[in-house]
Amino acid sequence: MFNKNYEKRIVVEGMHCMHCAKKVEESLKKIKGVKKVQVDVETGRVVILSKTEIDNALINSAIEDLGYKVK
């Protein structure tokens, strides 16, 4: 059986510290199918690895509900 991973790369505005990054990471990991999240506070880049394709609206909502903006 072949296991394919999906990867999404986004940029998030408004994160200023590791606490911000941790909040974003934890929120995204709650989305069904998400396996791993990497957040870089300095660049605002977020990489999401998942088992299935994740709807962008779910990702945007999870981030924007925390008060950050997806570019």
Compute and round to an integer the Cα radius of gyration of the chain.
12
The larger pLDDT score, comparing residue 58 to residue 4, is at 58
pLDDT digits (tens, 9 = 90+) for 2-56: 567 899 999 999 999 999 999 999 999 999 999 999 999 999 999 999 999 999 9
List the one residue out of 55, 39, 59 whose CA is nearest residue 47.
Answer: 39
pTM: 0.90
Instruction: Quote the CA–CA distance of 14 and 68 in Å, as a whole number.
Output: 5
**For position 1, what pLDDT does the model report?**
46
Domain ranges for the chain: 6-70
The larger pLDDT score, comparing residue 41 to residue 1, is at 41
**For position 3, what pLDDT does the model report?**
67
Report the topology of domain 6-70: Alpha-Beta Plaits (3.30.70)
